[in-house]
Structures are given as structure tokens and as C-alpha cells.
């Protein structure tokens, strides 16, 4: 490996090194506060290192990794969301867990895994990144061992993720058997002359889609989502919803664009089916829910369906649409789960919809932040969610995907119902049932609220002036 | 040569089916060892003797011995001796023994015939494995290290537990000591 290789790898090296460093800090018995602040600092360093490698792009580290505009962008999103999760974690874990420190080691490792996914162009790095991410998540989901829900969610995730990894590996093996390579570009080369796919390759691709579909929680592989979202600690849920899905989606997108999988009819039909089913079923299942975490889980299924609509054209437009929608989805989801985290108390998470009753009259700031993030999830104009959905529709219609675009619009209308229901509950009534308890850590409580307010301002600002980010995305190339 | 492969594959499938249908974990583990041994035989036939050896050393050797020890240790109690006698009944070990005898006969046959190269394969020797691991796939090896670290840290957290206090009076007694 040359010096340039090391330079290009800086963000990943920093993340990996940070996890070891935090482990050493734990070994010398520093307090939770010191460890939280130092990991916050290390996340910020890793994030800023992304700006320094800009001038090197695009850079290939043969044969496993590729650093280009898109992958650095996705890495930025992932590290940023881990940073926000890290800020929110202190108040959440401080009062609930005796040993909250290993959490930060695992958070770094999961972030590393998601980032490796974002930069991989080879099945080996794909699989290793995915495994680092999921093995870390097993422990993070079951982190609060006293709670039965947590353990249950951890076991569910363990079984299903191991199962889906087996599918993914078998699919990779079949594709390797057919094409003789595990590198995306070599697979693409062996496919260029083909007009239709051989059954063996198609089976392999289908199995890979099953494996990846489990991780992305798209219908029909969505069964675990609601239970795991509900059972996991709220900051971890935010991480699963954003960083883990973003990384997996990025690598899937790169794979399909590189092998140009969109010209095969069968593959397109499968993808359209998954997208339509995710949009409709995700939104319909959310309507009946009384639990905010479950509502957000089902809404995330629907949002992945929307993302697939932008994914399918495989054009330049769809790279932009996917990138922008990922920004929108990350910011709004982080904000929504951030509110759930802040309102959680020692015994339970604030997941019952009734506990949000009359929140506005007690915590007007929190209620406003939550409302704006829900409106952005619903795709109301002047929020970033609207612009994201607009781009998805534009990308879909440009490619002539009328049916999926129509279903996207209809299911968004269904989605509006349950988002608005939460908002009306926050403004209804006079007396909040959340007790006005004294927060144990007023400093971190305030820092968390400030972080969420900044995110909210970004949601609105990007909803009004999206061109700032869009112009930046013009240069993304995936081939 | 083909028949050797099919016999080994047959042994693999049979023993794996036996693993997932046994009620007693120790019986299942015995079959799992056979399954791993026959897998390593298949690796050997495919021209990867190094992978075959690793399969035996790491899986059938280290990990399985660990499993069997843990499971035997977990069963400590008054019934243990009786139980172990039950485990040693011929009914239990005759199946795995037959399967491993088949594998052994295959191995013996393969060593006995001199012209083994009826498959047109190139052999992957340890040097080739080492070179590819530490040259192009070095990042992969490092990532695998991080993967192990995630597993160990997670298991250490979930596995650790506070000292259990059975009753508050007992706890008080404990304090006075």
C-alpha cells in the first residue's frame, strides 16, 4: 500500500482507530462524560477528514474499495448521523445502564461497517462491511439488558440477520460461479454482451436481493422492523433507520449501476414489485399503530420504497434524486428519533402515542421540532422531504415509470394521515401526562435540544433553498 | 474420481441433516464434526488442501472441542455420570463412526492411487493463500479484525452480569462479613 492509499483511507482508519482508543479510555476507568465527549470529538475529526481527501477523488484502492464523490458523500451522511446519535446517547444511557461506555466502541465499529459498505466495489468488502455493521448492531440493540423488549429485539435481529447473510453469501457464490469475479466492474464486463441473464446469475441476484432486502427492511422482508425498532434503545433505532440503511442502500445502488442491471426486464419487474409493495404496505400498516416507534418503523419501510422508485431509472437524475432523498430521510429521521430519545424516561421510552398529548403546551420547542420533522417525512412543501419527493417523482417520470409514480403519490396521501394524527395529538388537550421532572443532566439535555434545533433549521432551509446541495451533487458519477 | 466426490457430498448432507434433527446437543455436535470433516474432504478434492486442513484444524478441531467441553461442563450435577454413560451407548456413536469410516476409506483410497490428477485443477497452496491475503486483500484482513472486535465487545457487554443478590437479608449478611 502506498502513502496515497493511506491518505485516501484516512476516514476509515480514523474510525477504526477511534474504537480502539475509546476502548483504552474505558480501560483506565474514565467517566461516562469524558468518554462521550471524546468520542464526539473523534466523530467530528473523522467527519472533517472527509474534506481533506476531496482533492484525491476519485481514487481506487484495488481491488476492494473505491473513493469517489458519491461514496464520500454517503460516508459523510453516515458519520454525521452517528455524531448526532452520539450526542443523543448520553442522556439516554446515563440513567438507564450501569456500564454505558462500551456503547461508544460499538457505535464506532458500526459506523466503520456502514462506511465500508459505502465505499466497497467488491463482494468481499461488501460482506465484511455488512457483518461489522450487523454484529455491532446485535449488541447495540440488546444493550439495555434489564429490559425484556431489548433482548427480544436483539434475538430477533440476530436470527434474521444471520439468515439473510446466508442468503447474501449464497447469492454471491452463484454470481461468482457464473462470472468468475467478485469485483463489480469485472462482473459488469462479463455481462456486457448478454441480452438476457442466465438462470444461475438471476438466482444469485435474487438471493442477494433477499439478503439486502432484509437489511433494508423492504416488503416482503420487513417482518422484523417494527419489533426491532420498538425494542431497541431509541438512539440505536435512529442509527438503524439511518446509517445502517444508508450504507446498504449505497452499495446496492453502486452494484446495480455498475453492472447496469436495469436493462434486464426481470430484474426491473422484481424491483418495481418490491417498491410498490413497500410503499403501500408500509403506509397501510402504520395507520393502525398506537406506538410512535412502530409508526416510524413502518414509515421507514415506505420511505425505502420511495427510494427504490428513484433507484430504478439508474440515470444521472436518479443518482441526484437518491442522494438528495437520503439527506432528507437522514435528517428527518434523526430528528424524529431524537425527540423520542429526549422524552424517554428511566423506565420506558416515550413510545406510546398518548404520552405526546398536549406536548406543545409543556415543551413548545420540542413539539415544534417534532412537528416539522413529521411534516418533512410526510412531504409537505417548504420542508426538505417535499423537495426529495419531488426529485424522486421527476426521476421516475423521466424514465416513464408512471405506475410507481402514481402509487408513490397515493401512498404519500395515506402517510399524511398518520403523521398528522401525531401532530394533532401534540396540540390536543391541556394537560400533558409527561411529568415535569428535573432532568439529571441539564447540560447534555440542552446540547441535545440545540442539536435537534439545528437539524430542524437545516430541514427547513434545504426545503427552501435545495440548490445549495443539488449543485454539489452534479459531479457524482458511479461508473 | 467423481464417485469419491459424490460419496463425500452425500456424507456431508446426511450428517448435516442429522445435526439439525437431533434432540441432544452432544449428539448433534458429533454429527457436526463429521459434517465438517466431509466438507474438508470436498475442499481437498477441489484442489484446496490448505483450506481442507484449516477446516479440520479450526472448525473440527478447536471450535468443536470447545463446544463439546462447554456443553459437557454445563451439565455438571449429580446426574452427570449417569448421563455420560448414556451418551456412550453404541446407538449414539455408531452413526458418526460409520460416516467417518467412509471418509477415512476415501482418504485412504485417494492416497493409495498415485495418479490423482483426473480433475484438471490447479492446486492452491498455502503460499498462494498467504500472498493473496496479505497483498491485495490486506484491507479485508484488517476489516475482519474489526469484525472480531465488534463481536468480542458486544459479547462481553451482554455476557457480563451484576452479582446476583437472592434476598435482601442475605445481602445484609454479606455486608457484615
Residues 59..118 of A with a Cβ closer than 8 Å to B: which?
61-65, 98-99, 102, 105-106, 109-110, 112-113, 116
A15 confidence band (pLDDT: 50, 70, 90): very high
Angle, CA of A39, A40 and A41, to the nearest 5° = 90
Q: Which residues of A touch B46 (CB under 8 A)?
A: none
State residue A190's pLDDT score: 87
**CB atoms near residue A316 (< 10 Å):** 15
Q: How far is B133 from chain A (nearest CA, A)?
A: 12
Q: Verify whether the Cβ–Cβ distance A139 to B138 is below 8 Å.
A: no
- Per domain, the residue ranges of chain A are 3-473
Q: How far is A472 from chain B (nearest CA, A)?
A: 30
Q: Is the model's pLDDT at B118 over the cut of 60?
A: no
What is the ipTM for the molecules in this complex?
A: 0.89
Which residue of chain B is at minimal alpha-carbon distance from A142? B158
Q: Which of A225, A376, A351 is closest to A300 using CA atoms?
A: A225
State residue A140's pLDDT score: 93
* 3-class SS letters over chain A: CCHHHHHHCHHHHHHHHHHHHHHHHHHCCCCHHHHHHHHHHHHHHHHHHHHHHHHHCCEEECCCEEECHHHHHHHHHHHHHHHHHHHHHHHHHHCCCCCCCHHHHHHHHHHHHHHHHHHECEHHHHHHHHHHHHHHHHHHHCCCCCCHHHHHHHHHHHHHHHHHHHHHHHHHHHHHHHHCCCEHHHHHHHHCCCCCCCHHHHHHHHHHHHHHHHHHCCCCCCHHHHHHHHHCCHHHHHHHHHHHHHHHHHHHHHHHHHHCHHHCHHHHHHHHHHHHHHHHHHHHHHHCCCEHHHHHHHHHHHHHHHHHHHHCCCCHHHHHHHHHHHHHHHHHHHHHHHHHHHHCCCCCCCCEHHHHCCHHHHCHHHHHHHHHHHHHHHCCCCCHHHHHHHHHHHHHHHCCCHHHHHHHHHHHHHHHHHHHHHHHHHHCCCCCCCCCCCCCCHHHHHHHHHHHHHHHHHHHHHHHCCHHHHHHHCCCCCC
Specify the range with the lowest mean pLDDT, choosing from A331-335, B7-11, B52-56, B123-127: B123-127
> Mean pLDDT, to the nearest integer, of A64-92?
92
Taking only the tens place, the pLDDT of each residue in A358-416 is: 888 888 899 999 999 999 999 888 899 999 999 999 998 988 888 999 999 999 999 99
Q: Which residues of B touch A124 (CB under 8 A)?
A: 137, 140
Beta carbons of A128 and B147 less than 8 angstroms apart: yes
B177 confidence band (pLDDT: 50, 70, 90): very low
- Residue A361 CA to residue B159 CA, distance in Å, equals 43
- Residue A16 CA to residue A79 CA, distance in Å, equals 13
Q: Verify whether the Cβ–Cβ distance A132 to B143 is below 8 Å.
A: yes
Taking only the tens place, the pLDDT of each residue in A321-347 is: 999 999 999 999 999 999 999 888 877
Give the length of chain B: 177
Q: Is the model's pLDDT at B176 over the cut of 50?
A: no
Q: Is the model's pLDDT at B16 over the cut of 80?
A: yes
Alpha helices for chain B (secondary structure H): 2-21, 25-45, 49-54, 64-74, 80-87, 90-112, 126-134, 138-159, 168-176
A173 confidence band (pLDDT: 50, 70, 90): very high
State residue A437's pLDDT score: 60
Q: Is the model's pLDDT at A136 over the cut of 90?
A: yes
Q: Verify whether the Cβ–Cβ distance B150 to A132 is below 8 Å.
A: yes
Residues 149..168 of A with a Cβ closer than 8 Å to B: which?
154
State residue B175's pLDDT score: 47
- Residue A166 CA to residue A155 CA, distance in Å, equals 17
Q: Verify whether the Cβ–Cβ distance B157 to A99 is below 8 Å.
A: yes
What percentage of chain A has pLDDT greater than the value 90?
57
Q: Which residues of A touch B133 (CB under 8 A)?
A: none
Q: Which residues of B touch A23 (CB under 8 A)?
A: 153
Q: Is the model's pLDDT at A418 over the cut of 80?
A: yes
State residue A13's pLDDT score: 94
State residue A87's pLDDT score: 92
B136 vs A63, A99, A113: nearest CB: A63
A106 vs B139, B153, B160: nearest CB: B153
Q: Is the model's pLDDT at A85 over the cut of 50?
A: yes
A142 vs B136, B158, B162: nearest CB: B158
B77 confidence band (pLDDT: 50, 70, 90): low
Q: Which residues of A touch B139 (CB under 8 A)?
A: 9, 61, 64-65, 125
Domains contained in chain B, CATH given: 2-176 (1.20.120.1200)
> Mean pLDDT, to the nearest integer, of A429-451?
76
State residue A153's pLDDT score: 92
Q: How far is B132 from chain A (nearest CA, A)?
A: 11
Q: Which residues of B touch A121 (CB under 8 A)?
A: none
Q: Verify whether the Cβ–Cβ distance B143 to A125 is below 8 Å.
A: yes
- Phi, psi at A437, each rounded to 5°: -80, 160
Q: Verify whether the Cβ–Cβ distance A64 to B139 is below 8 Å.
A: yes
> Mean pLDDT, to the nearest integer, of A81-102?
87
Q: Which of A239, A241, A230 is closest to A85 using CA atoms?
A: A239
Mean pLDDT value across chain A: 89
A131 vs B147, B160, B162: nearest CB: B147
Beta carbons of A252 and A316 less than 8 angstroms apart: no
Amino acid at each position: 500500500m502506498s502513502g496515497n492509499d493511506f491518505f485516501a483511507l484516512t476516514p476509515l482508519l480514523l474510525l477504526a482507530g477511534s474504537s480502539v482508543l475509546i476502548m483504552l479510555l474505558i480501560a483506565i476507568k474514565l467517566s461516562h462524560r469524558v468518554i462521550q465527549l471524546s468520542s464526539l470529538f473523534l466523530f467530528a475529526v473523522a467527519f472533517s477528514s472527509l474534506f481533506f481527501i476531496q482533492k484525491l477523488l476519485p481514487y481506487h484502492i484495488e481491488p476492494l474499495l473505491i473513493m469517489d464523490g458519491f461514496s464520500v458523500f454517503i460516508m459523510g451522511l453516515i458519520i454525521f448521523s452517528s455524531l448526532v446519535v452520539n450526542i443523543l446517547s448520553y442522556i439516554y444511557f446515563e440513567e438507564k445502564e450501569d456500564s454505558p461506555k462500551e456503547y461508544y466502541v460499538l457505535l464506532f465499529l458500526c459506523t466503520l461497517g456502514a462506511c465500508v459498505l459505502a465505499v466497497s466495489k467488491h463482494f468481499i468488502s461488501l460482506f465484511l462491511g455488512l457483518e461489522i455493521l450487523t454484529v455491532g448492531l446485535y449488541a447495540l440493540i440488546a444493550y439495555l439488558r434489564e429490559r425484556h423488549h431489548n433482548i427480544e429485539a436483539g434475538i430477533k435481529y440476530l436470527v434474521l440477520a444471520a439468515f439473510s447473510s446466508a442468503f447474501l453469501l449464497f447469492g454471491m457464490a452463484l454470481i461468482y460461479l457464473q462470472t468468475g469475479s467478485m469485483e463489480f466492474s469485472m462482473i459488469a464486463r462479463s455481462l456486457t454482451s448478454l441480452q438476457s441473464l442466465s438462470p444461475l446469475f438471476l438466482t444469485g441476484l435474487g438471493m442477494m436481493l433477499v439478503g439486502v432486502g432484509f437489511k433494508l427492511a423492504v416488503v416482503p422482508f420487513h417482518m422484523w422492523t417494527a419489533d426491532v425498532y420498538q425494542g431497541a434503545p431509541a438512539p440505536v433505532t435512529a442509527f438503524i433507520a439511518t446509517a445502517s440503511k444508508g450504507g446498504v442502500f449505497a452499495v446496492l445502488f453502486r452494484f446495480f449501476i455498475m453492472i447496469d442491471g436495469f436493462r434486464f426486464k426481470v430484474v426491473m419487474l422484481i424491483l418495481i414489485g418490491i417498491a410498490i409493495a413497500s410503499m403501500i404496505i408500509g403506509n397501510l400498516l402504520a395507520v393502525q399503530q398506537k406506538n410512535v416507534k412502530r409508526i416510524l418503523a413502518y414509515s421507514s419501510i415506505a420511505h425505502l420504497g420511495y427510494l427504490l422508485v428513484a433507484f430504478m431509472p439508474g440515470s444521472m437524475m436518479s443518482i441526484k434524486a437518491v442522494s438528495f432523498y437520503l439527506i432528507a430521510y437522514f435528517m428527518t429521521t434523526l430528528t424524529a428519533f431524537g425527540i423520542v430519545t429526549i422524552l424517554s424516561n428511566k423506565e420506558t421510552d416515550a413510545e406510546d402515542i398518548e404520552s405526546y398529548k398536549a406536548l406543545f403546551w409543556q415543551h413548545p420547542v420540542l413539539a415544534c421540532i417534532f412537528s416539522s420533522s413529521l411534516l418533512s417525512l410526510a412531504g409537505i412543501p417548504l420542508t426538505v422531504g417535499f423537495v426529495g419527493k419531488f426529485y424522486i417523482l421527476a426521476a421516475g417520470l423521466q424514465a416513464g415509470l408512471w405506475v410507481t409514480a402514481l402509487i408513490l403519490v397515493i401512498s404519500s396521501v395515506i402517510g399524511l394521515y398518520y403523521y398528522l394524527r401525531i401532530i394533532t395529538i401534540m396540540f390536543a388537550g391541556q394537560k400533558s401526562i409527561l411529568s415535569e421532572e428535573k432532568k439529571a443532566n441539564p447540560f447534555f439535555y440542552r446540547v441535545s435540544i440545540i442539536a435537534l434545533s439545528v437539524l430542524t433549521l437545516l430541514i427547513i432551509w434545504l426545503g427552501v433553498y435545495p440548490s445549495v446541495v443539488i449543485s454539489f451533487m452534479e459531479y457524482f458519477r458511479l461508473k | 474420481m467423481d464417485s469419491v466426490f459424490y460419496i463425500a457430498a452425500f456424507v456431508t448432507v446426511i450428517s448435516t441433516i442429522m445435526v439439525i434433527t437431533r434432540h441432544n446437543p452432544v449428539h448433534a455436535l458429533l454429527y457436526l464434526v463429521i459434517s465438517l470433516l466431509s466438507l474438508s474432504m470436498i475442499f481437498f478434492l477441489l484442489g484446496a488442501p490448505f483450506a481442507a486442513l484449516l477446516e479440520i484444524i479450526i472448525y473440527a478441531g478447536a471450535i468443536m472441542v470447545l463446544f463439546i467441553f462447554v456443553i459437557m461442563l454445563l451439565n455438571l450435577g449429580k446426574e452427570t455420570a449417569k448421563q455420560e454413560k448414556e451418551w456412550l451407548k453404541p446407538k449414539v456413536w455408531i452413526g458418526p463412526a460409520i460416516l467417518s469410516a467412509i471418509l477415512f476409506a476415501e482418504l485412504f483410497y485417494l492416497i493409495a492411487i498415485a495418479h490423482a490428477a483426473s480433475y484438471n485443477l490447479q492446486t492452491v497452496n498455502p503460499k498462494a493463500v498467504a500472498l493473496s491475503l496479505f497483498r491485495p486483500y490486506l484491507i479485508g484482513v484488517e476489516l475482519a479484525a474489526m469484525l472480531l472486535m465488534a463481536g468480542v465487545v458486544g459479547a462481553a457487554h451482554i455476557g457480563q452480569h451484576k452479582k446476583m443478590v437472592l434476598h435482601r437479608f442475605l445481602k445484609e449478611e454479606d455486608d457484615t462479613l
